[in-house]
């Protein structure tokens, strides 16, 4: 373990766990149910990781993200992705202006909606690959380049994108390079019967909740910095790497289901996100170090959009989730800290 928590960090960890409860309570004033989605959203936020939400329309994905932004006092922008959306509609563009005094002409950059703290890319797979690629530099480097000039994006900066799994006509599947930029794929499912009854009651009446501001951007950056200092036991780091490597058909310790059904496994970024997400999950729970159970808990959202199934698996109706369950069943978390064991 290379990291060390500072002496006063113990109090901050307890503070984060308390604040998490307050955030969940505030979101609960607006969003009914979806506890797992909210948990993953908070892990993504505190890990400074982008997330892809997959679910049918009408499940409050946009409302959830905007509510989180409101509670955390973050600047929020939403962009509806369409086939005619241009990269400049996201990043911004230069306009030619004339100085009223000197009569000289000059270019002025008008910032696009990407210059915010949380960007919601709604139905991201409806835009062209060229427009989708406009997000890549911003997601990775937190800056955009327009007209040869580079403009930084203030931190914290997160992209939360949504995707409809049903309507595929007129869509452009996200390339693997862009999918890999997303820390999580978060599946948003239908509410339960009881939850849907409550949704109907609260949204068709006079209920108008007032949200409290819990955090601000500076405090979030402080929490994100602390999470990077959280120590990780060697056996937990080794387990996360073994889980990631088990998705690769060519690895000698890969389960048979992977050899038979997977074309491409995950890259090293998945291993990094397994550890970073585990650290964040532990801290949000008030713990000072992650465990292998934390790795198991986030393995699905981290891995599912990175695993490429072959034709045989698709023909047999096998899903990435099935492969991940097989891997977690086969990889022994107690096998020791040596890689490949």
Provide the pLDDT for residue 2: 45
Q: Domain 1-86+114-216: which CATH class?
A: alpha beta
Task: Please check the confidence at residue 151 and state whether its pLDDT lies above 90.
Answer: no
| Paired tokens of 184 | 């999580």
Provide the pLDDT for residue 43: 95
Per-residue model confidence as pLDDT tens digits over 75-105:
999 999 988 888 888 888 877 777 777 767 7
In whole angstroms, give the CA distance from residue 188 to residue 275.
23
Contact between 297 and 306 under an 8 Å Cβ cutoff? The reply is no
Contact between 250 and 269 under an 8 Å Cβ cutoff? The reply is no
In whole angstroms, give the CA distance from residue 324 to residue 310.
15
Mean pLDDT over residues 49-71, rounded?
A: 87
Architecture of domain 230-341: Orthogonal Bundle (1.10)
DSSP notation for 150-218:
EEE-PSS-EEEEEE-SS--TT--PPPHHHHTTEEEEEEPPPPPHHHHHHHHHHHSSS----PPP---HH
Buried b (16+ CB within 10 A) or exposed e, 261-275: bbeebbeeebbbbbb
Of the two residues 333 and 294, the one the predictor is more confident about is 294
pLDDT category at 232 given cuts 50, 70, 90 is very high
| Paired tokens of 251 | 């690895």
Task: Please check the confidence at residue 3 and state whether its pLDDT lies above 70.
Answer: no
HSE on the CB side for 149, CA within 13 Å? 11
DSSP notation for 43-73:
HHHHTT-EEEEE--TTSSHHHHHHHHHHHTT
What element of type H or E holds 306?
none
Contacts of 272 (CB under 8 A, 6+ apart): none
Q: What residue ranges do the domains of the chain occupy?
A: 1-86+114-216, 230-341
1-86+114-216 shares its CATH topology with 230-341: no
């Amino acid at each position: 373990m290379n990291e060390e928590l500072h002496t006063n960090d113990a109090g901050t960890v307890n503070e984060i766990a308390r604040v998490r409860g307050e955030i969940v309570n505030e979101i609960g004033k607006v969003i009914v149910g979806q506890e797992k989605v909210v948990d993953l959203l908070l892990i993504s936020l505190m890990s400074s990781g982008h997330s892809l939400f997959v679910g049918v329309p009408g499940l409050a994905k946009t409302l959830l993200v905007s509510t989180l932004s409101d509670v955390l006092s973050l600047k929020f922008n939403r962009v509806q992705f369409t086939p005619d959306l241009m990269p400049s509609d996201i990043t911004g563009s230069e306009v030619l202006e004339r100085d009223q005094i000197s009569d000289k002409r000059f270019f002025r950059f008008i910032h696009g909606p990407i210059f915010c703290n949380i960007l919601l890319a709604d139905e991201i797979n409806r835009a062209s690959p060229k427009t989708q690629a406009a997000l890549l530099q911003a997601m990775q480097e937190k800056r955009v380049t327009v007209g040869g000039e580079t403009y930084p994006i203030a931190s914290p900066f997160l992209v939360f994108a949504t995707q409809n799994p049903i309507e595929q006509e007129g869509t452009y599947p996200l390339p693997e390079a862009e999918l890999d930029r997303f820390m999580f794929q978060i599946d948003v499912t239908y509410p339960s019967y009881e939850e849907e009854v409550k949704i109907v009651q609260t949204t068709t009446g006079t209920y108008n909740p007032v949200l409290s501001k819990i955090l601000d951007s500076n405090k979030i950056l402080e929490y994100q910095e602390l999470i990077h200092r959280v120590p990780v036991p060697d056996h937990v780091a080794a387990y996360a790497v073994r889980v990631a490597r088990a998705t690769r058909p060519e690895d000698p310790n890969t389960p048979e289901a992977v050899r038979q059904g997977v074309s491409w496994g995950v890259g090293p970024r998945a291993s990094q996100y397994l550890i970073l997400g585990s650290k964040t999950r532990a801290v949000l729970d008030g713990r000072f170090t992650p465990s292998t159970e934390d790795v198991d808990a986030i393995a699905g959202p981290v891995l599912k959009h990175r695993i490429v199934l072959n034709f045989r698996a698709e023909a047999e109706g096998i899903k990435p989730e099935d492969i991940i369950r097989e891997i977690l069943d086969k990889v022994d978390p107690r096998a020791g800290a040596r890689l490949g064991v």
